[in-house]
Amino acid sequence: MGNPDRGDDAAGRLAARCLRSLGLEALEHSGEGAALLEAWTGAGRVFLIDAVVTGAPPGTIMVWDAHSAPVPREAFRCSTHAFGVAEAVELARALDRLPASLTIVGIEAQQFERGAELSVVVREAVEQVVELIVQEVAACTNPD
């Protein structure tokens, strides 16, 4: 998720590019809620990666299982969409349209200025998130 022209908001998109470069299926998405529901239709396991603002130190990684509890809407308040990630997840829950597994990975953002680059701490967090997802996928596809 995210806007590639708003600094740390590009974190999710960068993670998707890294995952694709490793041969995994990954979509880049603006985070607009209605289109998001369509993007995960038919998917079994989804990792949704987005920049968040929770008050944690920049670069902090948070993981939420969308099936266990509602998504904390206040974490996604940096979105430019009135109907964004949190609203899409909760609507999908109400309509019974959540993927079988939906893991939301939030990376605490530091800045959202138009035209800015990703901050160093968020770029490092993206690398950690990519490694985490690669390990999760490997555990599912190569059980010991």
Q: Write down the pLDDT at residue 2.
A: 87
Is 1 a member of any domain? no
User: How far apart are the C-alpha atoms of 70 and 85, rounded to whole Å?
Assistant: 12
The answer on pLDDT for 79 being more than 60 is: no
The average pLDDT across 74-102 equals: 79
Please indicate, yes or no, if residue 2 is contained in any of the structural domains: no
Residue 82 has pLDDT above 70, yes or no: no
Q: Let me know if residue 71 belongs to a domain.
A: yes
pLDDT over 90, % of the chain: 56
Higher pLDDT residue, 138 or 16? 16
Predicted local distance difference test score (pLDDT) of residue 144: 61
Q: Tell whether 33 is covered by a domain.
A: yes
Q: Which of 109, 57, 50 is nearest to 85 (CA)?
A: 50
**Average of per-residue pLDDT values in the chain:** 88
Mean pLDDT across 63-86: 76
Domain count, the chain: 1
Q: Which of the four pLDDT bands, split at 50, 70 and 90, describes residue 121?
A: very high
Question: H or E stretch including 102?
Answer: strand 101-108
pLDDT category at 39 given cuts 50, 70, 90 is confident
Crossing angle of helices 11-21 and 120-141, in 10° steps, is 40
Provide the pLDDT for residue 31: 74
For residue 115, the domain's CATH number is 3.40.50.1450
| Total-model pTM | 0.89
Domain range for 20: 7-141
What confidence tier does 11 reach under pLDDT thresholds 50, 70, 90?
very high
